[in-house]
Amino acid sequence: MANQPATTFRIARAGPASLAAAALGALVLAILAALPAFAGRELIQNLIFVFDMLALAQCWNLLAGQAGLISVGQQAFVGLGGYLLFALTIMAGLDPLLAIPLAGGVCAALAFPAALIVFRLRGAYFAIGTWVVAEVCRLVLAQVKQLGGGTGTSLPPAVTSGVIGIEGIKTLFDVRTPAARDILSYWVALALMAASFALVYAIQRSRRGLALGAIRDSEAAAASLGVDIASVKLSVYVATAAMTGMIGALIYLQKARISPDAAFSVLDWTAYVIFIVVIGGIGTIEGPIVGTLVFTLMQHYLADFGAAYLILLGTLGILIMLFAPRGIWGFVVERYDFTLFPTRRRLFVEQRREGENRRIP
Partner 1 sequence: MTGWLDAVIQGILLGGLYALFAAGLSLIFGVMRLVNLAHGDLIVLAAFVILTLATWLGLDPFVAALLAIPIMFVVGFALQHVLLNRTLGRDLLPPLLVTFGLSIIIQNGLLQLFSADSERLRAGSIETASIALGGGIAAGVVPLLTLLSAIAVIVILNLVFYRTPLGRAFRATSDDLEIAQLMGIEVGRIYAVAMGLALVVVTVAALYLGMRANFDPTIGPARLLYAFEAVIIGGLGSFWGTLAGGIVLGLAQTIGARIDPEWQILAGHLAFLVVLVLRPRGLFPRAVD
For position 357 contacting partner 1 by CB under 8 A, the verdict is no
Tell me the window of 140-148, 223-231, 296-304, 334-342 that interacts with partner 1 (CB under 8 A).
140-148
Least distance between partner 1 and beta carbon 65 (Å)? 9
For position 245 contacting partner 1 by CB under 8 A, the verdict is no
3-state secondary structure of 87: helix
Question: What distance in Å separates the CA atoms of residue 137 and residue 142, rounded to the nearest whole number?
Answer: 8
Q: Is the Cβ of residue 123 or residue 178 nearer to partner 1 in the bound state?
A: 123
User: Do residues 235 and 67 make contact, with C-beta atoms less than 8 angstroms apart?
Assistant: no
| Nearest in space to 263 (alpha carbons), one of 71, 72, 78 | 78
For position 120 contacting partner 1 by CB under 8 A, the verdict is yes
The helix or strand, by DSSP H or E, that contains position 209, with its residue range, turns out to be helix 207-217
Stretch 65-104: interaction string toward partner 1, x if CB under 8 A: ---x-x-x--------------------------------
For position 214 contacting partner 1 by CB under 8 A, the verdict is no
Stretch 279-298: interaction string toward partner 1, x if CB under 8 A: ---x----------------
Tell me the window of 28-36, 89-97, 122-130, 221-229 that interacts with partner 1 (CB under 8 A).
122-130
For position 121 contacting partner 1 by CB under 8 A, the verdict is yes
User: Contacts with partner 1: how many residues (CB under 8 A)?
Assistant: 42
Least distance between partner 1 and beta carbon 311 (Å)? 5
Question: What distance in Å separates the CA atoms of residue 214 and residue 221, rounded to the nearest whole number?
Answer: 8
Residues 6+ apart with CB under 8 A from 129: 73, 117, 118, 120, 121
| Nearest in space to 286 (alpha carbons), one of 58, 23, 35 | 58
For position 325 contacting partner 1 by CB under 8 A, the verdict is yes
Tell me the window of 100-108, 123-131, 152-160, 220-228 that interacts with partner 1 (CB under 8 A).
123-131
For position 219 contacting partner 1 by CB under 8 A, the verdict is no
| Nearest in space to 77 (alpha carbons), one of 231, 235, 240 | 240
Dihedral of alpha carbons 251, 252, 256, 259, sign:
positive
For position 206 contacting partner 1 by CB under 8 A, the verdict is no
Which amino acid does the sequence have at 114?
Answer: A
Question: What distance in Å separates the CA atoms of residue 269 and residue 271, rounded to the nearest whole number?
Answer: 6
Residue 162, Cβ neighbours under 10 Å: how many? 14
Q: Is the Cβ of residue 29 or residue 144 nearer to partner 1 in the bound state?
A: 144
Question: What distance in Å separates the CA atoms of residue 107 and residue 240, rounded to the nearest whole number?
Answer: 9
Stretch 25-64: interaction string toward partner 1, x if CB under 8 A: ---------------------------------------x
The helix or strand, by DSSP H or E, that contains position 32, with its residue range, turns out to be helix 16-34
Which amino acid does the sequence have at 262?
Answer: A
Binding footprint of partner 1 on the chain (CB under 8 A): 64, 68, 70, 72, 116-117, 120-121, 123-125, 127-129, 131-133, 135-136, 139-140, 142-143, 266-267, 271, 274, 278, 282, 306-308, 310-311, 313-315, 317-318, 321-322, 325
